[in-house]
Chains A and B, each alone.
Chain A
Amino acid sequence: MNVQKKKAIFFKWIKHNAFDSLPILSRFKLVAHSHIIGRYRRIIAVAKKEFRQLLRDQLTLGFVVGVPAVQLLLFGYAINQDVRNVNTAVIDHSNSFISRHLVGQLEATQTFQITERPASESEGMDLLKKGIVHALVVVPPDYTRAYYRGRGAEISILVDAADPILARAVRASADGLMEQHNKRLQTFAIRPGEGTMRAPRQRSFFGAEPDLIRTQFLRFAVLNFYNPELRTPVFVVPALLGVILTTTMILMTSLAIVRERERGSFEFLIATPILRMELMAGKILPYILIGFIQIVIVVFTGLVLFRVPVSGSLIQLGIASLIFVSANLTLGMVISSVCSTQFQATEISFFFFLPSVLLSGFMFPFESMPHPAQWLGEMLPLTHFIRITRGILLKGASLIDHFQGVLAMLVFTLIGFIAATLLFQKRLD
């Protein structure tokens, strides 16, 4: 009892007198308190001001809301690696029921669209050269005879391989058709020495192709996971979220300080007691909100229009997006700190966009790039973000699965913020 009472008195004394009896401590406490309040107040003041200006700048506001929607629609539909409707010229020297059937089958693959029927090979080559067609199919005169005799016949398809994607698609489509065709031919003739193993005749139960005899040694069963229909939008839209955020976020903040410089308010601003860090933080805050609006627009459009699946958690996607947005914003601030005109800032921003788009795995499979390019790619926040969005949306991954990517983006943000703060000088030179 007595001890407790003593204790209570002691604590009461500590509470009331400790800070006052130690002048240094008490000063520290007060200063720290007012310091934090003042800092918070200044950051909010800058953020509020920036937001007001943004709301009054109709063009920029339209840019912020319109660009994501338009870009998503444009790229979502336009970036399509499924090659279809390749303009094709056909020269059918055989011109029989069988050869016409073959041409019909070619067209039925939807890869080819027969637009021209030149009379001769030279005429066909001319069309290819002029780019009127991208493929030239030549059916030889003895095709029909060869077909009935169960012999192989060579059908030439000349492809405009200037575009490798198109060339590969044509080859794949032709191969597919050939395989189908050969099955029928093989019914009649099994060439000796080609195979000793018979594939299980599982499909015969359904009566589809009862007379099929497979002769390959090996067959790879490739299963398409996560995007079974191989639809390009499913692959592209999650990555587009990152690309759109990169474009708008970097560009907007890269102008944030330069604009003050160009409009003359910079001199007023640096003559106030605002600290560099407070200015940076205040300038970034409203754009995080803008970034969030963009995320919602893009994700919503992607889900509704392009039927992108949501296998993982949208909240985790939101968290990852906010970190990614912050990373881009700090990069924009770095650009803004070193530039003296809006033109320069725009230029440098674009200088950053291209590698971001090309090296991040947005355009090409990341693993196929040469190693130095991969190292560069690993330094871009977009690379990590694209992995995360594809992971969360398509594969149902969580942020913990992409722990390294999240960490990389956080480190990028931190370095960017420090660099921007250090590069920004409250001086006129």
Chain B
Amino acid sequence: MVNQLMPENKKSELIIQARGLTRRFGSLTAVDRLDVDIYRSEVFGFLGPNGAGKSTLLRMLVGLMPPSDGTAQVLGFDLPKDAEKLRSKIGYMTQKFSLYEDLSVEENLEFSAQIFGLDKKTKKKRIDEVLHDFDLGELRFRRPAILSGGWKQRLALAVSMIHKPEILFLDEPTSGVDPSSRRLFWEKLFELASRGTTILVSTHYMDEACRCHRICMLQDGRIKAVGSPSDLTKSLKGRIIEISCEPIEKAMHVVRLQPYVESVTQLGSLAHVLLMSDAPSDKETSAQLYEVLKVSGFKQLRSEPAEPNLEDVFVAQTQKKDKDQGDLEI
């Protein structure tokens, strides 16, 4: 798929290539025959509910977990054979906070810098740079144990950037972080991306996925869709109708029974109706739905075609199984 949002000045060089990547835990297949291509300097998102296989996939691409089957090449290194050579070129931020709570911010940075083999002068320079870049200067003597979730994540990001990695792997970096901290965090990510770092991020937040250059939707270890958010939403053009009325929950039951309706998703006081691909035009169908709901006696009724969003794409792609999508948040 052609990537519209990728920076034009950067050459799209393939730096991660996975073919038939599979990981089984006993009888459970966490990642099932995935093919992934990722280009330099893109912000690539893996979107999916808990248990979709996002963490397992990232761990395999970082070289921490040998795949049961398939091959993966990252920066030209074959995994898991050349995992050690890859380490100094990538940064990895784990889902759970994995720095030392009993070392100060600066000591954590220092440890990481030394482990990545920076010499004394470079180390000092990088620590100062990173402290400045991530606004951690004032906290340098504090211990992470007393920092809030948002600051902890920022520190983890700073630590994983200390050796200027070419690729940054972030495993659900903002879970449990408040919205404003999340926004700041993503600003930092774009800053890094604009300087040429390739970023792979897994998330279950739709709004974060929207920010990525390209996303890959995962469910049950399988890829459901890959592409830029705009491409993905474009594919559903003309199949989404937004309705609102009182009470919305009851209206949804009625709408589900109507012809051409594939599924209904509640978004607060609104509901998005996904139409089947062979449905007549969205205008026509929305008018029909309006009539049906009006006859049924719903108040403050509104029904009109709407712009599809990523959640609609996700719902459409995972429709066949109709799993619980409670993990997806807007």
Which residues on A are within 8 Å of B, measured CB to CB? Answer: 37-38, 41-42, 44-46, 48-49, 52-53, 56-57, 263-275, 426-429
B112 and A429 within 8 A (CB): no
Contacts of A275 in B (CB 8 A): 84
- Give per-residue flags for B256-275: 1 if the beta carbon is below 8 A from chain A beta carbons, else 0: 00000000000000000000
Contacts of B88 in A (CB 8 A): 273
Main secondary structure of the interface of A (DSSP, over half): helix
Alpha-carbon distance A57/B84, docked complex (angstroms): 32
Q: Which of A57, A265, A268, A427 has the most C-beta atoms of chain B within 10 angstroms of its own C-beta?
A: A268
List 16 other contacts, CB 8 Å, given A42-B115, A45-B111, A46-B115: A38-B117, A41-B119, A42-B114, A52-B103, A52-B107, A263-B101, A267-B64, A267-B94, A268-B159, A271-B87, A272-B112, A272-B116, A273-B84, A275-B84, A426-B84, A428-B64
Alpha-carbon distance A266/B92, docked complex (angstroms): 12
Any A CB within 8 A of the CB of B99: yes
Any A CB within 8 A of the CB of B98: yes
State which of A37, A57, A428 has its C-beta within 8 Å of the C-beta of B102: A57
Which residues on B are within 8 Å of A, measured CB to CB? Answer: 59, 62, 64-66, 80, 83-84, 87-88, 90, 92, 94, 96-103, 107, 110-112, 114-117, 119, 159
Alpha-carbon distance A249/B98, docked complex (angstroms): 26
- Least distance between B105 CB and chain A CB atoms (Å): 13
B103 and A53 within 8 A (CB): yes
Contacts of B65 in A (CB 8 A): 427-429
Contacts of A264 in B (CB 8 A): 94, 96-98
- Least distance between B131 CB and chain A CB atoms (Å): 18
B117 and A268 within 8 A (CB): no
Contacts of A270 in B (CB 8 A): 64
Decide yes or no: A49 and B116 within 8 Å by CB, A273-B84, A428-B64 being known contacts: no
- Least distance between A168 CB and chain B CB atoms (Å): 53
Alpha-carbon distance A265/B112, docked complex (angstroms): 12
Alpha-carbon distance A429/B30, docked complex (angstroms): 13
Alpha-carbon distance A362/B178, docked complex (angstroms): 60
Alpha-carbon distance A401/B83, docked complex (angstroms): 49
A273 and B115 within 8 A (CB): yes
Alpha-carbon distance A44/B66, docked complex (angstroms): 30
- Least distance between A91 CB and chain B CB atoms (Å): 67
State which of A41, A52, A266, A268 has its C-beta within 8 Å of the C-beta of B114: A41
B99 and A428 within 8 A (CB): no
A427 and B64 within 8 A (CB): yes
9 pairs, A vs B, C-beta closer than 8 Å: A53-B102, A264-B94, A265-B99, A267-B64, A268-B99, A272-B115, A273-B88, A275-B84, A427-B64
Contacts of B96 in A (CB 8 A): 264, 267
* Closest 8 A/B residue pairs (Cβ): A45-B114, A268-B98, A273-B87, A271-B92, A38-B117, A264-B98, A273-B88, A272-B115
Q: Which of B66, B88, B94, B114 has the most C-beta atoms of chain A within 10 angstroms of its own C-beta?
A: B114
Alpha-carbon distance A153/B100, docked complex (angstroms): 78
Alpha-carbon distance A37/B88, docked complex (angstroms): 16
Contacts of B116 in A (CB 8 A): 272-273
Contacts of B80 in A (CB 8 A): 427
Contacts of B100 in A (CB 8 A): 49, 53, 263, 265
Residue of A nearest to B98 (CB): A268
State which of A42, A263, A427 has its C-beta within 8 Å of the C-beta of B66: A427
- Least distance between B170 CB and chain A CB atoms (Å): 12
Decide yes or no: A272 and B87 within 8 Å by CB, A38-B117, A41-B117, A428-B59 being known contacts: yes
Alpha-carbon distance A37/B123, docked complex (angstroms): 14
State which of B90, B94, B115, B159 has its C-beta within 8 Å of the C-beta of A274: B115
- Least distance between A231 CB and chain B CB atoms (Å): 45
- Least distance between B84 CB and chain A CB atoms (Å): 7
A49 and B59 within 8 A (CB): no
Residue of B nearest to A34 (CB): B117
- Least distance between A23 CB and chain B CB atoms (Å): 21
State which of A37, A52, A267, A427 has its C-beta within 8 Å of the C-beta of B98: A267
B112 and A271 within 8 A (CB): no
Contacts of B159 in A (CB 8 A): 268
Contacts of A263 in B (CB 8 A): 100-101
Alpha-carbon distance A270/B117, docked complex (angstroms): 15
- Least distance between B125 CB and chain A CB atoms (Å): 16
Contacts of B117 in A (CB 8 A): 38, 41-42, 273
B102 and A56 within 8 A (CB): yes
Contacts of A42 in B (CB 8 A): 114-115, 117
A271 and B115 within 8 A (CB): no
State which of B59, B64, B66, B98 has its C-beta within 8 Å of the C-beta of A265: B98
